[in-house]
Structure 1
Amino acid sequence: MSAVTHPRFRPRSGGRGSTWWSKAWGRTIEESAYSVEDLRAGKALARRAAVGHIVVSEGRFVAPVDEGDDTFTVEGGVERLDDAATAMLVDVVAAGAGRIASLMAGDLPHPFVEAVEESGVELLPFAGELSWTCSCSAWMDPCRHALAVGTQVGWLVAADPFVLILLRGLARDELLARLQSLGSAADSAEPGVAVDDLDTGLDAALRAARILEVSEDPDRGIDHLV
């Protein structure tokens, strides 16, 4: 299982970055809330950096939330794609020139998501697909602590669409490996069939990722989104 730990967001003045897909995630969180009061309290906890490190893995995210003298543990779940849907998602990525490069660059093009949906696969979850638990005594799920974590997961999704894909059960490394396998299989099965678009896009994406890893300040994190 792949797991990625994201550091605590630090509060700062100004707005945080958002994308159309993170706004869609935000609407899902809002629809999950039992009351406006809980939603407001959760967003307030998120903004004041009450949420600790968030660990994201296939279909799951976990984080502590500080409130007063107490710390609570929130676990959230997202319905994972089954094997057939995962294979279809990979095929849709491979079918479009530049799609993997866009994902690696932190973009989730709307036409790509539409193509995924047309194939019968839902990438963006709806409220009923999310599950929640919290160690607090609140009787409803999600409680304000869960809503705080869910809000910050939306910030992660805004910065990197692979967070969303991981929550659907497909890690970035696995996706890249499957794309490479598809390209190799097509090239071997039918010599002369052009797979240049996939190979070129994948190579460009991997090169861009390596450059970013070398040049990016490791201490900067993603708190510029807050």
Structure 2
Amino acid sequence: MAVLHPRVAPRRSTTRATTWWGKAWVRAVEEAAFSESDLVTARTLARGGHVGQITTRPGGFFASVEDQHGLWTVDGAIPELDETGTETVVEAVAAEAGRIAALLGGDLPHDLVEHTDEAGVELLPFGSELAATCTCEAWAEPCVHALAVLQQLAWLIEADPMVLLQLRGLAREDLLGRLHARRESPVSDDERDLDAAVEAALYAARLLDDPLS
């Protein structure tokens, strides 16, 4: 399922990431860039509000970017997890009840990412995994427009790490559904806590869908 995010207003302050996972994403963007000058231009476009609404989907994203030469469309991709990788992430989230609460609260627990890394599943991308095409005529890929979208994606992921999971192919509803399915026979306090957290998340999701329920 695709998600259309609100357009990011112009920022006068720095575009630097503030969370550890945001900084990791920005490092990947810097690795993907052809030159420092491209990064400077991209940050200016991102900070200046020249990026339209970003749509994220499992395995990709797209958005429009406007500069002095015209309006361009960026279409990007990031590798999705396979079924084994997805189950590894679900198991890592379920391993500690506090992890789902943290994710829903806008935090990406460092030990969760370490857990998946140790199992051979990388959640945060490398620069070589960030692919993007653009309707502009620049020969470098990613171009400055794509880099601007990737910069704003860092802000979206900082605010809601579930965006990162969705890009990797594990949408919020899918994660909650898989966790819900694991509730059939809770045997420990941690699992009971997880059960309560999932129930609360599902209830909140139902309220968002139907505020009068």
- TM, length-normalised to structure 1: 0.86
What residue in structure 2 maps to residue 202 of structure 1?
198
Shift of 1:213: 8.9
1:183 positional shift: 1.1
* Residue 153 to residue 46, structure 1, CA distance change in 2 (3 Å): same
Q: What corresponds to 1:84 in structure 2?
A: 84
1:113-128 paired onto structure 2 within 5 Å: 113-128=113-128
User: How big is the alpha-carbon RMSD for the aligned residues of Structure 1 and Structure 2?
Assistant: 2.1
Shift of 1:201: 2.3
Structure 1 residues 110 and 208: alpha-carbon distance in aligned structure 2, compared to 1, 3 A threshold:
farther
Give the residue type in structure 2 aligned to 1:87: E
Mapped partners of 2:206, 2:20: distance in 1: 26
Q: Secondary structure at the match of 2:97?
A: coil
Matched, 1:10 2:9: yes
Shift of 1:15: 4.9
Q: Aligned residue for 1:96?
A: 96
For residue 182 of structure 1, what is the aligned residue in structure 2? Answer: 182
CA deviation after TM superposition for structure 1 residue 69, in Å: 4.8
Displacement, 1:204? 3.8
Query: Secondary structure of the residue that 1:137 maps to in structure 2?
Result: coil
Conserved? CA contact 2:31–2:128, under 8 Å: no
- Greater RCO (CA < 8 Å, at least 6 residues apart): 1
The CA deviation string for residues 175-215 of structure 1, in whole angstroms up to 9 with x for no partner, is 0000000112x35xxxxx23312202223444566788999
Report the counterpart of residue 141 of structure 1 in structure 2. 141
CA shift, 1:26, in A, is 0.4
Cα contact 1:105–1:205 (8 A) shared by 2: no
Give unpaired runs (5+ residues) of structure 2.
none
Percent of pairs identical after alignment?
50
Give the deviation of 1:77 after TM superposition.
0.5
Question: Alpha-carbon deviation of 1:89?
Answer: 0.7
Quote how far apart the aligned CAs of 1:58 are: 0.2
Deviations 1:125-162 (A, max 9, x none): 10111111000000110010010000000010000000
1:21-100 equivalent positions in 2, closer than 5 A? 21-100=21-100
Corresponding letter in the other structure for 1:67: D
TM-score (norm 2): 0.91
Paired residues of 1:101 and 1:204 also in contact (CA < 8 A): no
Aligned AA for 1:9? V
